[in-house]
Amino acid sequence: MNNPVNPALASMQDIQTPAEIGLWPLAYGYWFSLVIIIVVSSLLIIWIRKRRQVGAAQRVALTELAALDQNSPQFAVEVSSLLKRAAMSYTSREQVAQLSGDNWYKWLNAQVNNPQDELCQLLALRFQKAQLSEDEKVALRQHAQSWLKTALPLTNTQASAKANAKTNAISNTASEAKQC
């Protein structure tokens, strides 16, 4: 059983397949997508770095607050100076460094949405002869931590508005002093 070979089929050659399509060069849509991904990634990295830089003083202040010795007789003074240093990291030195007493407490309360009167009351006790009790020191640490988390970082508009309020408060106290 010999199969006779068809002479018409014998003269045909095998089908030649075209060369495989390679990845390069990429189509325009891929290049466009690649550029978009690179730009978005770069902007995201820049945003994250700036955000970390802005929050650096807040993180350092919270770390220093946690490291403060609660048994120190100057604990309240150290907390107050820590709050002032943290605030000066976000505003000009002239705005914050000169504040003391009621003006300092008003400025602290002006930076947060919910005024923290207990923080101000505990800070006011720092110059009394009697030291703060352990409960007061714990409360002072918690209120200072809360203030650092909610008030910082200060925005430029927030800081300038607070500076105007401070200037008005100083002028009001000066006019009250003249009346006395």
Question: Can you tell me the distance from the alpha carbon of 146 to that of 127, in angstroms, rounded to the nearest whole number?
Answer: 22
- Residue 176 has a pLDDT of 45
Helix (H, G, I), strand (E, B) or coil at 131: coil
User: Could you check whether the bond before residue 115 is cis, i.e. omega within 30 degrees of 0?
Assistant: no
What does pTM read for this prediction?
A: 0.65
The amino acid at 130: A
- Mean of the pLDDT values across residues 120-140? 85
Angle in degrees, CA 116, 119, 123, rounded to 5: 145
pLDDT tens digit sequence for 6-62: 777 777 788 888 888 877 788 889 899 999 999 999 999 999 999 998 888 889 999
pLDDT tens digit sequence for 56-77: 888 999 999 999 988 888 888 8
Q: Is the dihedral of CA 130, 135, 140, 141 positive or negative?
A: positive
Q: How confident is the model at residue 151 (pLDDT cuts 50, 70, 90)?
A: confident
Helix (H, G, I), strand (E, B) or coil at 179: helix
Question: Can you tell me the distance from the alpha carbon of 132 to that of 152, in angstroms, rounded to the nearest whole number?
Answer: 26
CB 105, CB 96: distance < 8 Å? no
Element of type H or E holding 128: none
Distance of CA 90 to the CA centre of its chain: 11
- Mean of the pLDDT values across residues 134-143? 90
pLDDT tens digit sequence for 154-178: 875 455 555 555 555 555 554 444 3
Q: Which pair of structure tokens corresponds to residue 62?
A: 């919270």
- Residue 179 has a pLDDT of 36
